[in-house]
Amino acid sequence: MSVKAKSSLDEREQDTPISEVTLKASKSYQEPPSQHVDPPGKRVWRRILNHINTPPNYYGEPGQGNSRWIAVVSTLFFIALWTLVTEAGWVAPLFLPSPLAVVHKFVELWVDGFAGVSLGDHLIASLSRVFGAFILAVITAVPIGILVGTNVWMRGIFDPLIEFYRPLPPLAYLPLVIIWLGIDETSKVTLIYLAMFAPIALSARAGVTSARSEQIQAAYSMGASKLQVLYHVIIKSAMPEILTGLRIGIGFGWTTLVASEMVAAQAGIGYMVLNAAEFLVTDVVIAGIIIIGVIAYTFDLFMRYLEKWLVPWKGY
């Protein structure tokens, strides 16, 4: 190579940016293939981390999407697993009867009843207690929660009482309820009512305090009265939290049903479960648990559709 050609080549290299030189060098150089192979567990973990760190191809709230088919498949999977465990003899029928045995027992309960009472009467007794207490809780807890959230005097009166008894399990004050009200239906409904009252009232209060001050001031500036602001701004803003509180409250009611039917009950699903457990009739216990779960889940689905209808702006 001549001196003139060499000098022109050096000038071109000096004029070329460093990044371009590096890029050309990286393209011309190829690393030898790596001989290291990650173990399967590490590859799976790396894929999980990449999935978490990768931005989604949609924009919306977390967890959005239809999970109906996932729920159906998972339910069928658990039923199949239950069948496998029981039919293979891994668990004794005394502790876990098979799904087929539970279905047969449910048919027997529907035809012959339990403890001299038909299954329909057991259902009516439990439903009347739970939903009777639920109606009373809605009538009282929602207004008190709204008052606690909007009035400092009401907050000072009711907030200490609610926060005091809210953490207490219903079984803790069940003896006191029996002493005060006896062993008839009043004590049972009262116990369920007290279990529902606190979560519903606190949800209503949280919903009221979530109302934005800008919306309230805008309503006042447009000439709205206090009652109009309370209804059109505060209560409507609190509706999602109130409905969520109703769903939580009815759940507490079903969990307290069994405790309320421990005392001098002659009918009810909780009474049926407790009585069967004393004699180790496990299939009746599981049938009663499934009945309670199906009724509670059906009502929860109803509350979800009610949320979509009453508060469509929340995007349920």
Residue 79 clears pLDDT 50, i.e. is over it:
yes
DSSP helix/strand/coil, 190: helix
Specify the DSSP element, H or E, that contains 69: helix 68-87
Residue with the larger pLDDT of the pair 32 and 96 = 96
210-228 residues labelled b (16+ CB within 10 A) or e (exposed): ebeeeebeebeeeebeeee
The Cα–Cα gap between 149 and 163 comes to: 14
Which amino acid, residue 213?
S
Q: What are the pLDDT digits (tens) for 175-222?
A: 899 999 888 889 999 999 999 999 999 999 998 888 887 888 888 888
Q: Give the model's confidence band at 316: pLDDT under 50 very low, under 70 low, under 90 confident, else very high.
A: low
Residue 72 predicted with pLDDT over 70: yes
pLDDT at 13 over 90: no
The pLDDT assigned to 128 comes to 94
CA distance 73 to 92: 26
Measured at the CA of 188, the angle between CA 250 and CA 263, to 5 degrees, comes to 125
Instruction: Give this prediction's pTM.
Output: 0.74
Tokens of 108: 């027997």
43 has pLDDT over 70: no
- Are the CB atoms for 202 and 139 separated by under 8 Å? no
Task: Using pLDDT thresholds of 50, 70 and 90, give the confidence band for residue 53.
Answer: low
Structure confidence at residue 238 (pLDDT): 87
Residue 3: pLDDT band with limits 50, 70, 90: very low
Average pLDDT over residues 59-84: 80
Mean per-residue pLDDT for 2-16? 50
At residue 23, the pLDDT reads 46
SS3 (DSSP) at 36: coil
Which phi-psi region, left, alpha or beta, contains residue 264 (left: φ > 0; alpha: ψ -120 to 50)? left
Tens digits of residue pLDDT in 244-295: 999 999 999 998 988 888 877 888 998 899 899 888 889 999 999 999 999 9
How confident is residue 57, by pLDDT bands cut at 50, 70 and 90?
low
Q: Is it the case that residue 306 has pLDDT exceeding 70? A: yes
- Name all domains of the chain by residue range, CATH numbers in brackets: 86-310 (1.10.3720.10)
Two tokens at 55?
Answer: 């931005």
Tens-place pLDDT, residues 131-149: 999 999 999 999 999 999 8
The 3-state DSSP class for residue 45 equals: helix
21 vs 129: which has the higher pLDDT: 129
Give residue 37's pLDDT. Answer: 57
Average pLDDT over residues 225-249: 87
**71 pLDDT exceeds 60?**
yes
Q: 109 vs 36, which has greater pLDDT?
A: 109
- Determine the Cα–Cα distance for residues 198 and 202; give it in Å rounded to an integer: 6
Q: Give residue 31's region: left, alpha or beta (phi > 0; psi -120 to 50).
A: beta
Q: How far apart are CA 295 and CA 286, in angstroms?
A: 14
